[in-house]
């Protein structure tokens, strides 16, 4: 099978003067693209979950800086001072995804380098970030599928596909490549409460690309593994610490515990831009806590007893010792630890 057949979704699109983002809050019922004209709108789109997934957030932020530069006065001299408010607003949109800060750092270096036409240089850098992400995802897909080998079926969590990246996907990129190679014949996708990214987004992507998918409640994962239904758990990451501890969508950590107990291998797929060597371990990763209403309601309708509270962390941390392999565009790290992560990043 041709892998392009299983790669049809593009959620982040640059038109030449503004962004178009597929509004992921409205999937799978509607496929609606929003025009994002400036950095403030880009920051709001990140914060409000119009766009989500660490790589896609970074790409969106980079284009946000480019749009801010386009809107600046033509006679601007101190570009960093002029663009700093927009960059700070973008940086504050979501705290856990390190790709956001990585992308803004790249844009800042372009600003510091100066040049005759800085807006054009910033747009070119944002395009590079976008294109490099897609290329990295293709490479990770190849590496992960080769490591996986024949697996029958896999289980994934949250959404790590084209909707979460510049295209193809991280964990879903591996799944796309493995399906095209005949290594897997089915995907099980967790619903992923409270935003239901698995139900609304991952299932939608896989259906669009003709890959068989069965949806499961998170609570069914243990029984699925006990029955021997899956060969691998394949997930993405929003930040990876220097020792290999990994922050991903809430619910990932218990999957790793279950996988280890049942002898199912556990793969994390993420570009090296997600690796934060300045954070020693998972304890140092900031975990975003979102509004309780996301847990207490569903689609705007209350589902909990009136007066109940809720704890709503958006991410959890999986210790490195529970991870069998981290797949990046630079290579695969099996049984990750600090020394192996350092060697990879060198």
Q: Which residues are designated catalytic? A: 238
Q: Closest Cα partner for 303 from 291, 293, 314?
A: 293
Measured between alpha carbons, how far is 102 from 237 in angstroms, rounded to an integer? 14
Pairing of strands 297-298, 301-302: antiparallel
Q: What angle do CA 171, 99, 272 make, to 5 degrees?
A: 60
Measured between alpha carbons, how far is 237 from 53 in angstroms, rounded to an integer? 9
Detail the DSSP E strand segments found in 28-115. 33-36
In this structure, are residues 145 and 182 in contact, taking their beta carbons and an 8 Å threshold? no
Tokens of 335: 């049984």
**b/e for 233-243, b at 16 or more Cβ within 10 A?**
bbbbbbbbbbb
Does residue 19 sit in helix, strand or coil?
strand
Pairing of strands 246-249, 315-318: antiparallel
Measured between alpha carbons, how far is 207 from 157 in angstroms, rounded to an integer? 16
Measured between alpha carbons, how far is 86 from 68 in angstroms, rounded to an integer? 7
Measured between alpha carbons, how far is 187 from 157 in angstroms, rounded to an integer? 11
Q: How many CB atoms lie within 10 A of CB 217?
A: 11
Measured between alpha carbons, how far is 331 from 301 in angstroms, rounded to an integer? 45
Report DSSP state, residue 220: G
Q: How many CB atoms lie within 10 A of CB 223?
A: 11
């Amino acid at each position: 099978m041709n892998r392009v057949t299983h790669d049809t979704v593009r959620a982040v699109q640059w038109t030449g003067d503004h962004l178009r983002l597929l509004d992921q809050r409205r999937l799978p019922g509607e496929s609606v693209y929003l025009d994002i004209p400036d950095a403030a709108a880009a920051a709001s789109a990140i914060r409000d979950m119009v766009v989500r997934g660490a790589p896609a957030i970074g790409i969106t932020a980079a284009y946000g800086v480019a749009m801010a530069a386009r809107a600046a006065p033509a006679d601007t001299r101190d570009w960093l001072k002029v663009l700093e408010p927009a960059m700070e607003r973008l940086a504050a949109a979501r705290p856990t995804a390190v790709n956001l800060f990585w992308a803004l750092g790249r844009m800042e270096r372009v600003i510091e380098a100066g040049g005759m036409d800085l807006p054009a240089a910033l747009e070119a850098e944002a395009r590079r970030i976008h294109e490099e992400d897609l290329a990295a995802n293709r490479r990770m897909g190849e590496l992960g599928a080769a490591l996986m080998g024949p697996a029958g079926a896999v289980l994934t969590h949250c959404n790590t596909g084209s909707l979460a990246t510049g295209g193809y996907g991280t964990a879903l990129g591996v799944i796309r490549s493995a399906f095209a190679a005949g290594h897997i014949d089915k995907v099980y996708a967790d619903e992923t409460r409270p935003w239901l990214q698995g139900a609304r987004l991952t299932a939608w992507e896989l259906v669009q690309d003709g890959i068989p998918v069965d949806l499961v409640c998170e609570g069914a994962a243990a029984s699925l593994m006990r029955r021997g239904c899956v060969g691998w758990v394949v997930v993405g990451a929003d930040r990876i610490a220097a020792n290999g501890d990994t922050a991903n969508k809430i619910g990932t950590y218990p999957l790793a515990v279950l996988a280890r107990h049942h002898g199912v291998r556990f793969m994390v797929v993420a570009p090296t831009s997600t690796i934060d060597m300045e954070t020693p371990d998972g304890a140092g990763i900031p975990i975003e806590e979102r509004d309780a209403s996301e847990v207490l309601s569903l689609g705007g309708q209350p589902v909990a007893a009136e007066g109940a509270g809720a704890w709503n962390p958006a991410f959890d941390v999986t210790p490195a010792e529970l991870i069998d392999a981290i797949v990046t565009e630079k290579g695969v790290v099996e049984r990750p630890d600090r020394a192996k992560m350092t060697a990879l990043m060198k």
